[in-house]
């Protein structure tokens, strides 16, 4: 079974057993895995510890139970294995900014959160630490032609704007043209939530359509990762993955105008697997270290 399949089954197992005691020992035993390896695997894939995840799902389930008139907060605390009502109240207030008693009194509801998807990506074991698989590589300079537009993270429609322009590029290119597709995200300016995005293909393909821009991307030393799924939906996961990569590999980010680049193999299939390349500093590596 693939590592992401183990975690997918784990999430279902947890959801089905929130009313029962759950621990690292019990969950790892369910899947016949060493608790030490399972802990590292779960943390690497989900970006949080198993205990943190279980707590978040119990609190999520409590939202529905709080609306039931026949259950007291004490009943809910014990039903969801919080140990004591005060432990439940503290955790709830930390998560939602109000006490469960306040929520019950005002009668409003907080939206339930579905089981999160497991982002599929290869992993590697480095001296006992599990991280998303990466390669240190040179991104070769390239001239790209495509759409350039500005995005504001403070708006609610920034994801739709990126997807709209991606689709517009696909529709403007003949199906007989075979090419990789590049999505380049610039860094936000200081004290700004705005950044620029280029969605393009190699300029030599001679696509002659109005409103296209041509941009030269310089050679970059990068960390390269492989993912499946929409980057706009896995952003938080990638941020966690990249932070773990920096810590474990002892690399440093490069102060570049480009924050990251998505590289799709096929311009006509942006739902496929893709690589993310992120500029990093080319540090001297001590061969004796």
- We report the CATH number of the domain holding residue 21 as 1.10.10.60
- Kindly give, in sequence order, each residue whose CB lies less than 8 Å from that of residue 101, ignoring residues fewer than 6 positions away: 73, 89
Domain boundary, last residue among 88, 115, 142? 115
Residue 102 lies in a domain: yes
Are 146 and 100 found together in one domain? no
Query: Is the pLDDT at 157 greater than 60, yes or no?
Result: yes
Query: 83 and 165, same structural domain?
Result: no
Residue 32 has a pLDDT of 93
The CATH number of the domain holding residue 274 is: 3.20.80.10
Is 286's pLDDT higher than 50? no
Q: How far apart are CA 95 and CA 60, in angstroms?
A: 10
| Residues near 66 by beta carbon (within 8 Å), at least 6 away in sequence | 73, 76, 100, 103, 104
The whole-number average pLDDT for the span 167-193 is 83
Contact partners, residue 280, CB within 8 Å, separation at least 6: 136, 221, 222, 223, 246, 251, 252, 253, 254
Residues 190-205, mean pLDDT to the nearest whole number: 85
Shared domain for 109 and 144, answered yes or no, is: no
Instruction: Mark which of 63, 88, 115 sits at the end of a domain.
Output: 115
Q: Which residues contact 78 (CB under 8 A, 6 or more apart)?
A: 85
Tokens 């492989």 belong to residue: 226
Share of the chain above pLDDT 70, in %: 95
Please state the domain count of the chain: 2
Q: Hey, which residues does 202 pair with through a beta bridge?
A: 144
Q: Position of tokens 């969801």?
A: 80
Residue 146 lies in a domain: yes
Task: Give the confidence band of 206 by pLDDT, cuts at 50, 70, 90.
Answer: low
For the chain, the straight-line distance linking the first and the last C-alpha, in angstroms and rounded, comes to 35
Quick one: 92 and 147 in the same domain? no
Do 268 and 150 share a structural domain? yes
Residues 83 and 211 in one domain: no
Could you list the residue range(s) of the whole structural domain that residue 248 is in? 134-279
Do 151 and 256 fall into the same domain?
A: yes
Residues 240 and 275 in one domain: yes
pLDDT score for 55: 96
**Cα distance between residue 84 and residue 91, in whole Å:** 11
Angle 57-61-64 from CA coordinates, rounded to 5° = 155
Q: Which of 47-56, 89-98, 158-167, 207-216 has the lowest mean pLDDT?
A: 207-216
Q: Which region, left, alpha or beta, applies to residue 201 given φ > 0 means left and ψ of -120 to 50 means alpha?
A: beta
User: In the predicted model, is pLDDT for residue 58 greater than 90?
Assistant: yes
Mean pLDDT, residues 64-87 taken together: 89
Per-residue pLDDT tens over the stretch 88-129: 999 999 999 999 988 888 877 789 999 988 888 888 888 778
Position with higher pLDDT, 159 vs 88: 88
Query: Looking at residue 30, what is its pLDDT?
Result: 94
3-state SS assignment for residue 78: helix
Joined tokens for residue 139:
């991104």
126 found inside a domain: no
In this structure, the answer to whether residues 138 and 214 fall within a common structural domain is: yes
Amino acid 122: pLDDT: 87
- 3-state helix, strand, coil split of the chain in percent (to 5) is 40, 25, 40
How much is the average pLDDT of 12-30? Answer: 95
Does 273 or 136 have the greater pLDDT score? 136
- Enumerate the β-bridge partners of residue 137: 222
What the block records as the tokens of 13 is: 């197992």
Indicate if 260 and 142 belong to the same structural domain.
yes
Same domain, 64 and 160: no
């Amino acid at each position: 079974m693939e590592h992401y399949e183990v975690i997918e089954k784990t999430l279902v197992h947890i959801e089905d057993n929130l009313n029962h005691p759950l621990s690292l020992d019990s969950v790892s035993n369910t899947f016949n895995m060493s608790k030490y390896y399972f802990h590292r695997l779960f943390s690497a894939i989900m970006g949080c510890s198993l205990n943190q995840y279980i707590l978040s799902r119990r609190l999520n389930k409590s939202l529905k139970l709080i609306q039931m008139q026949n259950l007291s907060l004490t009943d809910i605390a014990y039903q969801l294995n919080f140990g004591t009502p005060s432990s439940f109240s503290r955790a709830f207030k930390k998560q939602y900014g109000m006490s469960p008693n306040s929520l019950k009194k005002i009668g409003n509801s907080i939206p339930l959160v579905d089981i999160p998807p497991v982002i599929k990506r290869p992993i590697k074991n480095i001296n006992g630490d599990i991280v998303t698989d990466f390669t240190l590589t040179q991104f070769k300079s390239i001239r790209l032609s495509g759409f350039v537009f500005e995005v504001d993270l403070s708006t609610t429609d920034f994801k739709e704007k990126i997807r709209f322009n991606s689709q517009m590029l696909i529709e403007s290119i003949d199906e007989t043209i075979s090419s990789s597709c590049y999505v380049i995200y610039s860094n936000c300016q200081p004290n700004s939530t705005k950044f620029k995005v280029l969605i393009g293909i190699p300029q030599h393909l001679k696509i002659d359509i109005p409103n296209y821009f041509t941009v030269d991307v310089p050679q970059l030393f990068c960390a390269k990762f492989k993912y499946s799924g929409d980057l706009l939906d896995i952003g938080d996961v990638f941020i966690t993955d990249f932070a773990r990569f920096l810590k474990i590999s002892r690399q440093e980010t490069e102060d570049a105008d480009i924050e990251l680049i998505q590289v799709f193999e096929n311009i006509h299939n942006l739902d496929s697997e893709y690589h993310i390349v992120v500029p990093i500093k080319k540090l001297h590596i001590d061969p004796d270290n």
